[in-house]
């Protein structure tokens, strides 16, 4: 079983596909769950505090907006932990949305820099592309160690 | 307690910056309630296309859709708070355009703010208070005439001022540099009452504003404890006799600056703050000290100099002071240095704050720094207009406070006061 980072990290469809073909998805749900389940914090809605953008300094310098660094504090550790990644470019908002374009650029760059197996796709624009899109994801996940054929 | 003011939040990044709670706390402190206007995915796609600004960040697209929903009346709100990350260029463009769009197409009071992870509820409180006051107390803010015998106290970061007014006339003044907040207030109150020839018990209503407003207001049992954005707007248009129509009020303070776009004496959009003390009156105090002149002499001195002769950038007060020292060491005249310091402060305010509001004439400068002739001159040059400095402009907060406090004599204070 491989740990697969998904982009957009909020995509429930991608998360479900990764699980379905035998792997563990690394996405926003994992990072946010950790925050909201940490006892003693009271910082709704995500339970993020000003310490999180400071943790994000590991991935982006202080002149980078705090929102980018805060997001990187969530996604950066997941990228480091990942064995593989699926990137879906130009996804529809309904498919998954990361909110900040600058974070998106940095997240995708850091994934590509890792040198792990990556499936880089464009979001399908028609049914035919959609079928090929799912098939490509299935093939990629099945080929990863521990993947379901 | 009255119904909370419903403030619509259009934002990108506060949750991930860990400051959303600070926004909630600031709103709760002034009995306001933040909410995110509901929009559908289709709304986002359509609104984003119709608005025409090609933002790449999805949260900014969402903010655009929410703004359109507010303007088109699909969502009800009392006021709008726009917040995006400091140093994000894309967000700054969207923030400014949304503020302008809402201001031009609705009656909703709106304030925009760029935050960092260091933003606290205390930083946001004055802005939130002003926003909710405009929404909640329109009846009070519509007051144009001071009635009865009232007093206003303005506890600023540099100076404390008091004014006693009777039947629309100022009859007593008090002014001291702020040291001990309560002690300074007591001193100016005593002076103003003595000059007015009245006793404290004769006062029919009192108001406080400025940083020390809560402490002093609670101590003297003020009827009105109000932030300086709305109070200064009233004071400015009252003293400048521009109570009707559009105006822009600029107050360069000792610690922060206010730039307020006013319609009939009520703030429409405003900004408050400043990146650095280099854009505040504090830099001019330092300049006067370094030149060995009293702050009251700096303005006339600057009028005799040429700002272009000395390169000075007070974006940061440390570097600004360095430029000042270097210029003097290189043989520049005190007059030119004074003029350059005034130009630098005016330029910082112009670049950092005046771009965030719509400048409408007349432009009224108020507060202690409006007495520095050189600063007013430089600001006029930058804005290419003749700046109005009303009489007693340094007492603007006290006058606004005394004027608004008179609304409490008969009780026309508006909902939620």
Contact predicate A68/A60, CB 8 Å: yes
Q: Is the CB of A47 inside 8 Å of chain B's CB atoms? A: no
Q: By the 8 A CB rule, do B103 and B227 touch?
A: no
| DSSP-assigned letters across all residues of A7-59 | ESTT-HHHHHHHHHTT-EEESHHHHHHHHHTSTT---TTTT--THHHHHGGGT
Does the pLDDT value for residue A140 go beyond 70? yes
- Architecture in CATH of B141-229+396-410: 2-Layer Sandwich (3.30)
Tell me if chain A has a CB within 8 Å of the CB of B58.
yes
Residue B82 confidence (pLDDT) above 70: yes
Q: What's the pLDDT at B412?
A: 58
Residue with structure tokens 């403030």?
B7
Q: What is the mean pLDDT of residues B107-127?
A: 89
Strands, DSSP E only, in chain A? 3-7, 24-26, 84-89, 118-122
With contact defined as beta carbons under 8 Å apart, do B323 and B408 qualify?
Answer: no
Nearest to B15 among A46, A65, A94 (CB): A46
pLDDT value, residue B393? 94
Interface contact A66-B24, CB threshold 8 A: no
Q: What is the pLDDT of residue B274?
A: 55
At residue B411, the pLDDT reads: 67
Sort out which chain B residues have CB atoms less than 8 A from A64's CB and list them. Answer: 87
> What whole-number distance in Å separates Cα of residue B244 and Cα of residue B147?
19
Is pLDDT above 80 for B254? Answer: no
Chain centre to alpha carbon of residue A3 = 11
Q: Are strands B257-263 and B246-252 parallel, antiparallel or unpaired?
A: antiparallel
Query: Mean pLDDT for chain A?
Result: 93
How close does chain A come to B379, measured CA to CA in Å? Answer: 30
- Closest-CA residue of A relative to B120 is A50
Contact at 8 Å (CB) between B208 and B216?
Answer: yes
A99 and B41 in contact by Cβ < 8 A? no
- Nearest chain A residue (CA) to B59: A99
Q: Which residues does chain A have within 8 Å of residue B84's beta carbon, measured at their own beta carbons?
A: 67
* A84 at B interface, C-beta within 8 A: no
Check CB contact of A51 with chain B, cutoff 8 Å.
yes
The separation between CA B231 and the C-alpha centre of its own chain, rounded to angstroms, equals: 9
> pLDDT tens digit string along B322-362?
888 888 899 999 999 999 999 989 988 888 778 777 788 99
Residue ranges of domains in chain B: 5-136, 141-229+396-410
Tokens encoding B263: 């319609």
Per cent of chain B over pLDDT 90 is 66
User: Is the CB of residue B178 less than 8 Å from the CB of residue B205?
Assistant: no
Average pLDDT of the residues of chain B: 90
Is B91 an interface residue toward A (CB < 8 Å)? yes
Higher-confidence residue of B19 and B316: namely: B19
Contact with chain A for residue B86, Cβ under 8 A: yes
CB contact at 8 A, A24 and A42: no
Can you tell me the mean pLDDT for B242-247? 92
The least confident of A127-131, B125-129, B244-248, B280-284 is B280-284
**Lowest-pLDDT choice from A137-146, B166-175, B192-201, B320-329:** B320-329
CA B390 distance to own-chain centroid: 17
pLDDT of residue B416: 40
Cα–Cα distance for residue pair B92/B163, rounded to 1 Å: 40
Coil, strand, or helix at residue B289?
Answer: helix
Residues of A in contact with B19 (CB under 8 A): 50, 66
**pLDDT tens column, B381-414:** 999 999 999 999 999 999 999 999 999 987 655 5
Do B5-136 and B141-229+396-410 fold alike per CATH?
Answer: no
CA distance A129 to chain B (A): 22
- Interchain proximity B20–A46, CB inside 8 Å: yes
Nearest 5°: phi and psi at B61?
Answer: -65, -40
Q: Could you tell me the pLDDT band of residue B141, with boundaries at 50, 70 and 90?
A: confident
Higher-scoring residue by pLDDT: A45, B64: B64
Task: Identify the band that residue B276 occupies on the pLDDT scale cut at 50, 70 and 90.
Answer: low
Alpha-carbon distance values, A116 to A74, A86, A90, A110 (Å): 20, 11, 22, 11
The 3-state DSSP class for residue B2 equals coil
| Mutation to test the B interface, candidates A60, A65, A96, A123, most B Cβ within 10 Å | A65
Instruction: Could you please state the CATH topology (level 3) that the domain comprising B5-136 is classified under.
Output: Rossmann fold (3.40.50)
CB B102 within 8 A of CB B6: no
Nearest Cα neighbor of B78 from B4, B11, B2 is B4
> Which residues in B lie closer than 8 A to residue A98 (C-beta atoms)?
58
Q: Helix B334-352 and helix B281-291: axis angle, to 10°?
A: 170
- Chain B nearest C-alpha distance from A51 (Å): 8
Q: Does the pLDDT of residue A12 top 80, yes or no?
A: yes
Instruction: Give A58-61 contacts, CB < 8 A, sequence gap 24+.
Output: A59/A106, A59/A110, A60/A106
Among chain B residues, the shortest Cα distance to A74 is held by B16
Chain B residues within 8 A of A8 when measuring between CB atoms: none
Q: What is the pLDDT of residue B164?
A: 98
A71: which chain B residues are within 8 Å (Cβ-Cβ)? 16
CB–CB contact A43 B20 (8 Å):
yes
The DSSP code sequence of B70-96 is: HHTTSS--SEEEEEEETT-HHHHHHHH
CB contact, 8 Å: B49 with chain A? no
Q: What is the pLDDT of residue B277?
A: 64
Q: Please report the ipTM that was assigned to this predicted complex.
A: 0.92
pLDDT band at B417 (very low <50, low <70, confident <90, very high): very low
d(CA B335, CA A84): 67
Closest residue of B to A91, CA-based?
A: B58
Task: Note the maximum CA span of chain B.
Answer: 67
Phi, psi (deg, nearest 5) at residue B297: -95, -10
HEC secondary structure over B158-212: CEEEEEEEECCEEEEEEEEECCCHHHHHHHHHHHHHHHHCCCHHHCCEEEEEECC
> Which pLDDT score, from 0 to 100, does residue B256 have?
78
Query: Mind listing the pLDDT tens digit for each residue in B369-380?
Result: 999 999 999 999
- B11 — pLDDT class (breaks 50, 70, 90): very high
Chain A positions in Cβ-Cβ contact with residue B118 (cut-off 8 Å): 50
Rounded CA gap, B265 and B332, in Å?
Answer: 43
Nearest chain A residue to B18, by CA: A49
**What is the C-alpha to C-alpha distance for residues B345 and A132, in angstroms, rounded to an integer?**
61
Residue among B143, B117, B112 at smallest CA distance from B130: B112
Residues A60, A61, A63, A65, Cα dihedral to 10°: 20
Q: Are the Cβ atoms of B13 and A42 closer than 8 angstroms?
A: no
pLDDT given for residue B206 in this prediction? 97
pLDDT of B51 reads: 93
Q: How many Cβ atoms are within 10 Å of B215's Cβ, its own excluded?
A: 15
Cα(A10)–Cα(B335) distance, integer angstroms? 61
CB B112 within 8 A of CB B92: no
Neighbours of B169 (CB within 10 A): 8
**B171: Cα separation from own chain's centroid:** 26
What's the pLDDT score for residue B315? 66
* pLDDT of B178: 92
Instruction: Give A2 to chain B, closest Cα distance, Å.
Output: 28
Nearest CA distance, B273 vs chain A (angstrom): 18
């Amino acid at each position: 079983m491989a740990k697969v980072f998904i982009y957009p990290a909020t995509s429930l469809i991608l998360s479900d596909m990764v699980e379905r073909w035998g792997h563990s998805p690394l996405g926003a749900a994992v990072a946010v769950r950790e925050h909201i389940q940490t006892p003693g914090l009271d910082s709704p809605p995500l339970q993020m505090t000003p310490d999180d953008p400071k943790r994000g300094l590991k991935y982006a310098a202080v002149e980078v907006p705090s929102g980018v660094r805060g997001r990187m504090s969530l996604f950066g550790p997941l990228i480091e932990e990942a064995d593989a990644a699926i990137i879906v470019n130009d996804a529809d908002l309904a498919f998954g949305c990361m909110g900040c374009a600058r974070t998106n650029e940095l997240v995708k760059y850091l994934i590509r820099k890792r040198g792990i197996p990556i499936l880089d796709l464009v979001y399908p624009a028609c049914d035919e592309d959609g079928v090929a899109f799912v098939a490509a994801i299935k093939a990629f996940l099945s080929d990863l160690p521990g993947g379901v054929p | 307690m009255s119904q909370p003011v419903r403030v619509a939040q259009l934002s990108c990044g506060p949750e991930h910056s860990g400051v959303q709670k600070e926004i909630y706390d600031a709103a709760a402190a002034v009995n306001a309630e933040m909410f995110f206007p509901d929009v559908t995915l289709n709304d986002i796609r359509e609104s984003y296309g119709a608005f025409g600004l090609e933002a790449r960040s999805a949260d900014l697209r969402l903010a655009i859709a929410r703004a359109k929903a507010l303007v088109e009346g699909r969502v009800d709100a009392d006021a709008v708070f726009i917040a995006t990350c400091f140093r994000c260029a894309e967000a700054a463009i969207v923030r400014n355009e949304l503020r302008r769009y809402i201001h031009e197409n609705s009656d909703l009071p709106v304030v925009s703010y760029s935050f960092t992870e260091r933003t606290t509820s205390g930083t946001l409180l004055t802005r939130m208070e002003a926003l909710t006051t405009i929404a909640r107390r329109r009846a009070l803010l519509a007051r144009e005439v001071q009635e009865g015998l009232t007093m206003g106290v303005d506890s600023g970061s540099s100076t404390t001022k008091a004014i006693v007014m009777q039947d629309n006339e100022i009859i007593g003044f008090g002014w001291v540099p702020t040291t001990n907040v309560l002690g300074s207030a007591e001193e100016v109150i005593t002076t103003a009452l003595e000059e007015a020839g009245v006793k404290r018990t004769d006062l029919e209503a009192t108001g406080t504003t400025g940083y020390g407003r809560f402490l002093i207001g609670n101590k003297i049992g003020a009827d009105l404890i109000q932030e300086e954005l709305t109070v200064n707007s009233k004071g400015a248009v009252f003293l400048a006799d521009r109570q009707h129509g559009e105006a822009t009020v600029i107050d360069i303070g000792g610690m922060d600056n206010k730039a307020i776009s006013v319609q009939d004496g009520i703030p429409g959009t405003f900004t408050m703050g400043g990146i650095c003390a280099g854009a505040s009156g504090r830099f001019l105090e330092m300049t006067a000290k370094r030149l060995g002149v009293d702050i009251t002499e700096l303005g006339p001195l600057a009028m005799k100099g040429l700002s272009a002769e000395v390169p000075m950038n007070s974006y940061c007060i440390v570097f600004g002071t360095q430029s000042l020292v270097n210029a003097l060491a290189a043989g520049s005249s005190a007059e030119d240095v004074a003029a350059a310091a005034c130009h630098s402060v005016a330029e910082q305010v112009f670049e950092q704050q005046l771009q965030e509001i719509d400048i409408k004439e007349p432009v009224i400068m108020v507060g202690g720094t409006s007495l520095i002739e050189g600063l007013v001159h430089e600001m006029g040059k930058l804005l290419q207009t003749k700046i109005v400095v009303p009489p007693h402009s340094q007492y603007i907060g006290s006058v606004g406070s005394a004027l608004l406090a008179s609304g409490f004599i008969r009780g026309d204070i508006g909902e939620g006061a």
